[in-house]
Amino acid sequence: MTRLQFIELVKEHHSMLSGRQLDIYIEMVGNKIALDTDIAKKTFLLSSVAGQRWYDLDKSVMKVDKVYFNDVKIPKAIGDPVIDDDEFTGPEDTSDTALETPTANIENKRMWTLSEYDSSSTTAKTIRLGIMEKVPGAITKDGRTSDIQSCSITGTNNIRVFATTTITPFTVSANQGTADDGASDIVGPLLDIPYQFHEVLLNGVISMGYKNPKNFNPEMLAFYEDQFQKGIKDMKKFERTKYRTGFIKPYDF
């Protein structure tokens, strides 16, 4: 359904809510769905920098599923390297000596890791993606030797991150409120949640509206919350099985 159709159906239950309040409810319920079902997925492009290990990811990223470097899938690292490339900014260790920029190697044994500790972002707490390379005896520091060094090449949009994310928020204009096309069914959360599950989102928004003190109704709240939770179960099943066939039955030819 389109955004305007969605709002009309919610207004039948909650006429006191403004358009922007409804958008906020839709986004909140959409994020609840994304968190419970992992249904919102996006890809992001990053540019590698020689000598840089950590890269801030978009604040919408909840989980990284896989990473490609120069169009080649690279594995996730197991554990932490003995020596880190200290690129923390909060707090920043100004007395630390930065590691030297590594030289490119022909083996290209790269891997990725994640860190939720600090970031260079000043606007949001974000996950950081680490790109590392395995080179025997790459770094020696404080009497310890590590086979793991930071990325050794500089590239443009050569890191592609496949991630599970929060939903896409509606586009909001500072002067005019919501700027998305009301006649579209692929704006904001409606883009990330498959069309066949828009009713689940609708039930969740109606349920949330009945929690509002101005329109509190425990009976209606219980009914629509139950419908919403049943829809969440259907979405989880859909997400588990949409790329699977169950089992393979053998045949003789």
Residue-wise pLDDT tens digits, 155-200 = 999 999 999 999 999 987 555 555 567 788 888 999 999 999 999 9
Residue with tokens 């044994």, as numbered in its chain:
109
Mean pLDDT of the chain: 89
pLDDT of residue 183: 84
**Which of 108-112, 185-189, 247-251 has the largest mean confidence?**
108-112
Residue-level pLDDT at 117: 84
Query: ω before 91 within 30° of 0 (cis)?
Result: yes
Instruction: Read off the pTM.
Output: 0.85
Contact 145, 139 (CB under 8 A): yes
- pLDDT exceeds cutoff 60 at 30: yes
Average pLDDT over residues 117-123: 71
Which pLDDT belongs to residue 246? 57
229 Rama sector, left if φ>0, alpha if ψ -120 to 50, beta otherwise: alpha
CA 91 – CA 182 distance, rounded (Å): 44
Quote the pLDDT of residue 85. Answer: 84
**C-alpha distances out from residue 170 to 23, 67, 145, 208, Å:** 7, 28, 49, 18
Per residue in 195-230, pLDDT tens? Answer: 999 999 999 999 999 999 999 999 999 999 999 999
Output the pLDDT for position 179: 58
pLDDT value at residue 238: 92
Weakest-pLDDT range from 17-21, 118-122, 180-184? 118-122
Quick one: pLDDT at residue 162?
Answer: 98
- Top pLDDT among 67 and 178 is at 67
pLDDT above 90: residue 106: no
